Amino acid sequence: MNVHLRLRQNTLALIKNPVSIVIPMFNAERHIIRVLEALLAQDYEGEKEVIVVNDGSTDRSRDLLRQFESKNRIRVLDQPNQGAVAATNAGFKASRYDIICSVDSDVVLHNDTLRKIMEEFYDPVVGAVQGYYKTPQSSSFWARMMGYDVEKRYDDIPGKQVTQVCTGDTAYRRSALDKTGLFDPAFVYGYDNDMSYRLQKAGYKLIFRRDALCDHYWKGDLSSYVKQQYRSAYGRMQLINKHKDKIAGDSVSGLRMILQVPLLLLVIGLAGAGALLSVFGMSGKLPFVFAAAVLALMVLDRLSFAISIMRKQRDPRVLLLPFVHVLRNGVWCLAMARWIVGAQWKR
């Protein structure tokens, strides 16, 4: 039989296979109905089981599930608030099928997303497959800054095989997880990166399916943005400590992004040195000049990044992204300082 024909037959058979879908949920009343309706309406021929793990929600989101639960369209697991890792692991343990798809409670899949993701599992070496986050046009300024940034980094990925997938819209092969273990509860943020690295070390490939689309409703205010960036930075330090070969990042968070933080620390150090020299009556002009030059280069790099985003999004507000990233880098510096102090304290 022709190889291409056999692969096509295997793919067609696979996309009728049953799939488990796990949604870890905490206070998701704004989006959970749309998330579930989109999942239940997928144009996927195989059987789907949908498991929502209610992680101690205190808003109306648990009540909103009852309309789906009463019709046996979903299964709900209730647990005290333990965080996203514990909720995701609980859902994975309760799932029945060989492919388990993790979907965040603020991620709305497009109609054909699940089918496209499942097509990639015809290759037994594929351990996980992720779709593409889109930024809804109804998003607030801060949600757009987050979403546009992530979209741009996805757009810069050259092919299908990647070194990191995110739990927000990713399907995993159960047999691969049996080898690596579930998500590491030591991580509050970055546990999906950790899983990605472990899957690759176990010999599995990670696939990015850029035409498997979903809308990601990022939290929309400044406070949420700062908290998310702080957790992201702290998680990155944990990742580097555990996976030292990933100090330069991965497919989604590459060296260009990661270098922004040490460069900002250099700017702060140079400015501090200039100020200290001035206090002792010496000229601090040269350190200040170098600090200004490095900061200008950083802003120019971010401006180039923002202009390329604006060409796609047609949103002039994205030109403020360089200043948003200065804020982000400052938050990352604070998180790094806390992690370093904490690491030293544990010794």
Residue 243 falls inside a structural domain:
no
Asked if residue 181 and residue 308 are part of one domain, the reply reads: no
Do residue 152 and residue 297 come from a single domain? Answer: no
- pLDDT score for 254: 87
Q: Residue 86 has what pLDDT?
A: 97
Residue 9 has what pLDDT? 54
The DSSP annotation for 202-262 comes to: TT-EEEEEEEEEEEE----SHHHHHHHHHHHHHHHHHHHHH-GGGTT--SSS-HHHHTHHH
Residue 161, H or E segment? strand 161-162
- pLDDT tens-digit profile, the chain (347 residues): 554 555 555 555 555 799 999 999 999 999 999 999 999 999 999 999 999 999 999 999 999 999 999 888 899 999 999 999 999 999 999 999 999 999 999 999 999 999 999 999 999 999 999 999 999 989 999 999 999 999 999 999 999 999 999 999 999 999 999 999 999 999 988 999 999 999 999 999 999 999 999 999 998 899 999 999 999 999 999 999 999 999 888 999 888 888 888 899 999 999 999 888 888 778 778 989 999 999 999 999 999 999 999 999 999 999 999 999 999 999 999 998 888 877 656 55
pLDDT at 279: 82
Whole-number pLDDT of residue 70? 86
Position 329 in a domain: yes
Q: How far apart are CA 22 and CA 15, in angstroms?
A: 18
- CB of 83 within 8 A of CB of 155? no
Q: At what angle do helices 141-155 and 222-242 cross, to 10 degrees?
A: 40
In a domain, 104, yes or no: yes
Residues 69 and 168 in one domain: yes
- Please give the C-alpha separations between residue 237 and each of 190, 197, 269, in angstroms, as whole numbers: 9, 15, 20
Q: Looking at the structure, tell me whether residues 322 and 189 fall in a common domain.
A: no
Consecutive H or E run containing 173: strand 169-173
Cβ atoms of 264 and 298 within 8 Å: the answer is yes
Query: Domain boundary at 221, 251, 282, which?
Result: 221
Q: Are residues 65 and 118 in the same domain?
A: yes
Residues 215 and 279 in one domain: no
Q: Which residues of 192-214 are buried (b: 16+ CB within 10 A; e: fewer)?
A: bbbbbbbbbeeebbbbbbeebbb
In a domain, 233, yes or no: no
* Residue 121 within any structural domain of the chain: yes
For the chain, the farthest-separated pair of C-alpha atoms sits apart, in whole angstroms, at: 84
| Distant-in-sequence, close-in-space partners of 193: CB < 8 Å, separation ≥ 6 | 164, 235, 239, 246, 250
Q: Note whether 206 and 277 are same-domain residues.
A: no
172 and 100 in a common domain? yes
User: Are 205 and 341 members of one domain?
Assistant: no
pLDDT for the residue numbered 345: 60
Pair (137, 274) in one structural domain? no
* Domain termination residue (choose one: 194, 221, 248): 221
Q: Is 105 within the bounds of a domain?
A: yes
Q: How far apart are CA 49 and CA 19, in angstroms?
A: 7
> Does residue 47 share a domain with residue 190?
yes
What is the reported pTM?
0.91
Helix (H, G, I), strand (E, B) or coil at 336: helix
Backbone angles phi, psi at 251, to 5 degrees: -60, -35
Residue 86 sits in which domain range? 3-221
pLDDT at residue 343, as a whole number: 62
Task: Find tokens 């949420």 and name the residue.
Answer: 224
Residues 210 and 292 in one domain: no
What confidence score (pLDDT) does residue 278 get?
Answer: 85
- Output the domain CATH number for residue 40: 3.90.550.10
Q: Give domain status of residue 162, yes or no.
A: yes
Report which of 68, 52, 172 is spatially closest to residue 118, judged by C-alpha positions.
172
Question: Which of 170, 200, 221 represents a domain boundary (last residue)?
Answer: 221
Question: What per-residue confidence (pLDDT) applies to 256?
Answer: 87
The predicted structure's pLDDT at residue 239: 92
Q: In total, how many domains does the chain have?
A: 2
Confidence (pLDDT) at 229 = 94
- Whether 249 is covered by a domain: the verdict is no
